[in-house]
Amino acid sequence: MLNYPGTQLQFFNIDTIPYDPTILGSVDVQINPTAGFTSQKTGDSIKIRLPDAQGKLLFDLLFNQSDTVKTATTFRGFFKGLTIYPDTTMPGAIYGFRDSLFVRLHYHEPGVVYQPLIVDFPYVNKTNQFNRITADRTGTPIQNISELNPEISSAATGNASYLQSATALYVKLLFPTLGNLLQYPDYLSVLRATLTIKPVDGTYSPIYALPPQINLINTTQANTLGTSAATGTGSLFIDYLYGANTAYTYDVTPYIQQAILKGTQDNAINGIMLTIPAPAYNTTFNRVVVGDQFSPLLVNRISLNVFYASYF
């Protein structure tokens, strides 16, 4: 809810804006996202007719040159805006709208020849745009994740972790046994380390798309994000033939070299966070399911390969 109605300048994904539940207009439309048109035959746009009384009110204000419509500030004080939301009683999908939406007033000049005219009321205050996305995870392997329980082991979720930034799901990797390398009698130093993340087979498709890129970011016990933990962005390689080689691959040599020196206690609480880079992290619903080292599907397990120098 709004902290300071009318004066709040910053919004977060936990905020909501109250609105009058009275419905001014509705439309039942089919969207074809790949073809770029809707069943209204208006290209990729959707039109919702508002009540005639609403149009007459706006027209009278313009016709009478009311002070209410002379500046954007006074008009916003009068016309607070419109809420667009889906009918939750009907099945459907999630779609986004560009910031080109507007209210269009249709009228005509008096005369012998009919001359239709329009006035557009555009979308304003773009700086106050924010996304609020909620997710119902009831009955899923991650249903126990909550504000009070924000972190859960992959052992409790079917040996899999879930990344979908738009719904605040992230994957945290910990390597508590890295320090064991120092106990190897032939260990000298790490030469190279690669991390391979393989999405679980059957959890992605052209419809349930994988994120094109996933970043690896240093993180702490409090899950705060720091600097990059890998060389490169780990662009996705898709094995269209068999699927087994679909993976994100990273060079994490510098990270592993430092983590080994930090010891088991530090590596048990501080690690790497998988994130989707901006702006996709809050504008798309791409997701990935990552199998851990005990995943029943051997070909879909995450793996860290460490190459080290030996004096033998």
Residue 164 DSSP one-character state: B
Residue 292 and residue 185 share a domain? yes
**8 Å CB contact between 291 and 301:** yes
For residue 78, what are its two tokens?
């009068």
Which residues have CB under 8 Å from 198's CB, separation 6+?
Answer: 246, 247, 290, 291, 299, 300, 301, 302, 303
Assigned domain for 6 exists: no
| Residue pair 284/157 in contact by the 8 Å Cβ criterion | no
Question: How many structural domains compose the chain?
Answer: 2
Q: Do the beta carbons of residue 289 and residue 162 sit within 8 Å?
A: yes
Residue 163 shares a structural domain with residue 57? no
Q: 49-66: per-residue pLDDT in tens?
A: 999 999 999 999 999 999
User: What is the SS3 assignment for 169?
Assistant: strand
Cα–Cα distance, 99 to 131 (Å, whole number)? 13
Distance CA 58, CA 74 (A): 14
Which residue is it, tokens 């679909």?
A: 246
Structure tokens belonging to residue 106: 């249709």
Reading the block at residue 269, the tokens are: 């609480």
Q: How many CB atoms lie within 10 A of CB 270?
A: 18
Same domain, 226 and 108: no
> Do 103 and 202 have their domain in common?
no
Tens-place pLDDT, residues 93-131: 656 667 678 899 999 888 888 889 999 988 877 777 777
Task: Write down the pLDDT at residue 2.
Answer: 46
Same domain membership, residue 69 and residue 164? no
Residues in the chain, total? 312
Residue 3 belongs to a domain: no
Q: Compute the average pLDDT of residues 266-283.
A: 87
pTM for the structure as a whole:
0.73
